[in-house]
Amino acid sequence: MNSARGNRPIERVEQLGEEAAASGFRARLMSIGPMMHGGGQWIMGNAITSGGCFVLYTKKRFDAMDVWRLVSDAVVTSVSTIGDAMARPLAEALLVDPRPDVDLSMLFAIGNGGAPLSAGVREQIRAALPNVAILDSFGASETGAAGSRADDGSAISSPKFSVGADTTVLSDDGRVCAVGEVGKLARSGNIPLGYYKDPEKTAATFRTFDGQRWVIPGDFAQIEDDGQITLLGRGSVCINSGGEKIYPEEVEAALKQHPAVFDATVVGTPNARWGEQVTALVQLREGTSTTVDEIVAFSRTLVADYKSPKAVLFVDQVVRTPVGKADYQWAKAEALRLLA
């Protein structure tokens, strides 16, 4: 094991504390996601091993203004969120009521990982916190933190990430994909040995090609001209419609830019002609209204026609997992129930 500073070998545990104390790192980091999620654990680890401070939000129910009061009281410098489910109410709370009694002058960054931020929520964060940077990152328990990106103000649905030399995109036969070719995200180097007592899953996820061992967690991605990587979505939820692969995250990001849409989840449902069709479950903002035709027409201004929803189902609430990620199992079951 090597030190994070100077790449010096770690010879004893106490050395970590000594280096942290000498680092001058005074960041005060806060993750509002549950500590059952790797994102929160990584932020805590970064703070502790770097000599900084980690701030915990301990209330059982999420309240955006309570979060901002804690950020103010604890002089937090960076807040980490998990996608729109957390970031949207935080931004909207400040836009509705700027709260001059909340001092956010020391806040310099909003970090996000675990689920993407839609373009609409990015705009809300920029409007609410114009002097705060938005930092995106991605990773998994199997890969560790694999890539990062600093928001540049552009309207995006699938951000490009800078990655290290040990991260790339592989074809099914282990070949490094060409620029623009869709493959699977892969990482080598310091990766786990496998899953505990699960040799079948280990063999499927940890692969060896030409003597090089890789972890391939199942995310579709492609390499861009500048060497960065664009994440397209999880293979397990990819929709195959008429032989074309459609990634729900891209369509969801487009739908959530509609001013009447509060949240949306996209799944594939059976279609006699296409095999699968794109079906969207949409939760509208309180006090707004729209129609299926309007939603479909709007989506076609942002994604190709074949990716736009063939069915739009309005629901009272889009259900998400405890950490704010899309609950595709619920969405699939609910879509099939409503379409029956």
User: Are residues 97 and 76 located together in one domain of the fold?
Assistant: yes
User: Are residues 47 and 144 located together in one domain of the fold?
Assistant: yes
User: Are residues 38 and 143 located together in one domain of the fold?
Assistant: yes
User: Are residues 54 and 180 located together in one domain of the fold?
Assistant: no
The pLDDT value given to residue 8: 64
User: Are residues 171 and 192 located together in one domain of the fold?
Assistant: yes
* Structure tokens that stand for 239 in this block: 């929709």
Q: Domain holding 327: CATH number?
A: 3.30.300.30
User: Are residues 111 and 181 located together in one domain of the fold?
Assistant: no
Among 159, 156, 150, residue whose Cα is nearest residue 230? 159
Question: Could you give the CA distance from residue 144 to residue 53 in angstroms, rounded to a whole number?
Answer: 21
User: Are residues 67 and 109 located together in one domain of the fold?
Assistant: yes
Task: Tell me the angle at which helices 119-128 and 84-96 cross, rounded to the nearest 10 degrees.
Answer: 40
The pLDDT value given to residue 268: 96
User: Are residues 73 and 207 located together in one domain of the fold?
Assistant: no
C-alpha separations of 116 from 111, 247, 285 in Å: 11, 13, 20
Question: Could you give the CA distance from residue 110 to residue 100 in angstroms, rounded to a whole number?
Answer: 20
Q: How many residues does the chain have?
A: 340
In the chain, the number of structural domains is 3
C-alpha separations of 292 from 119, 171, 284 in Å: 21, 38, 12
Q: Which residues of 237-252 are buried (b: 16+ CB within 10 A; e: fewer)?
A: bbbebeeeebbbbbbb
Residue 35 belongs to what domain range? 13-157
In a domain, 4, yes or no: no
Question: Could you give the CA distance from residue 136 to residue 156 in angstroms, rounded to a whole number?
Answer: 12
Domain end: 125, 157, 189, which one? 157
Query: Strand (E) positions, the chain?
Result: 28-31, 53-56, 78-81, 109-112, 133-140, 144-150, 160-163, 167-170, 182-187, 206-209, 212-215, 219-223, 229-234, 239-241, 244-246, 261-271, 275-284, 311-314
Domain end: 234, 267, 290, which one? 234
**251 contacts 268 by C-beta, under 8 angstroms:** no
The model carries a pTM of: 0.78
**265 contacts 334 by C-beta, under 8 angstroms:** no
Q: Domain holding 148: CATH number?
A: 3.40.50.980
Question: Could you give the CA distance from residue 79 to residue 86 in angstroms, rounded to a whole number?
Answer: 11
User: Are residues 257 and 227 located together in one domain of the fold?
Assistant: no
Tens-of-pLDDT digits for all 340 residues of the chain? 555 555 567 778 777 777 777 766 678 999 988 888 787 888 898 888 778 899 999 998 899 999 999 999 999 999 999 888 899 999 999 998 877 789 999 999 999 988 888 888 999 999 999 999 999 998 888 998 889 999 888 766 566 899 999 999 999 999 999 999 999 999 999 999 999 999 999 999 999 999 999 999 999 999 999 999 998 888 889 999 998 999 999 999 999 999 999 999 999 999 999 999 999 999 999 999 999 999 999 999 999 999 999 999 999 999 999 888 899 999 999 999 999 9
Among 157, 147, 153, residue whose Cα is nearest residue 134? 153
Question: Could you give the CA distance from residue 335 to residue 315 in angstroms, rounded to a whole number?
Answer: 10
In a domain, 36, yes or no: yes
